[in-house]
Amino acid sequence: MTTKHTHSDSELHSGTDSEAYAIIFFDGVCNLCNASINFVIDRDSKRYFRYAPLQSETGQRFLDKHGKSVSDFDSVILSENGKVYEKSAAALRVARKMDGAWPLLYGFIIIPRFLRDVVYNLIAKNRYRWFGKEESCRMPTPELKQLFLS
């Protein structure tokens, strides 16, 4: 049985009713974003998430399909159960599925999105200056390669 999700945090239909896993799209050259993905991988013992850099062919097709700019990498995007979540909504939904106490962060969903996204946007705007960036997208280790979509 599938329950309909009615939350309004930057949702777009991705065209499927359910997925065996959720996909996290991220800025593949951002050091903060790559560290965040490593953090999630280490706390996703059920291997619920798959990953794709927004700059990859998969990421570019996804952005194009959803009418997003294929050159805008300022948001983490989560595709889960036929819905698309961005910015703080995506981050909180990811935390909800992680091991340990991280799901408790999902309680911040009660804060209005525009307020949560002020903090998110500040970090996103300054992430390269504060954390640096690479010349190209990360290459997963052989052990993690199956988690990354090509």
Residue-averaged pLDDT of the chain: 85
Q: Residue 138's pLDDT is what?
A: 66
DSSP-derived secondary structure letter, 114: H
* Res. 6: pLDDT tops 60: no
Contact 51, 123 (CB under 8 A): no
Please give the Cα distance from 142 to 128 (Å, whole number): 27
Q: What percent of the chain has pLDDT over 70?
A: 86
* Res. 146: pLDDT tops 60: yes
pLDDT in tens, 47-64: 999 999 999 999 999 999
Give me the mean pLDDT over the 109-126 stretch. 95
Which residues make Cβ contacts (< 8 Å) with residue 61, sequence separation at least 6?
none
For the whole prediction, is pTM greater than 0.85? Answer: no
Least confident window among 62-66, 71-75, 89-93, 94-98: 71-75
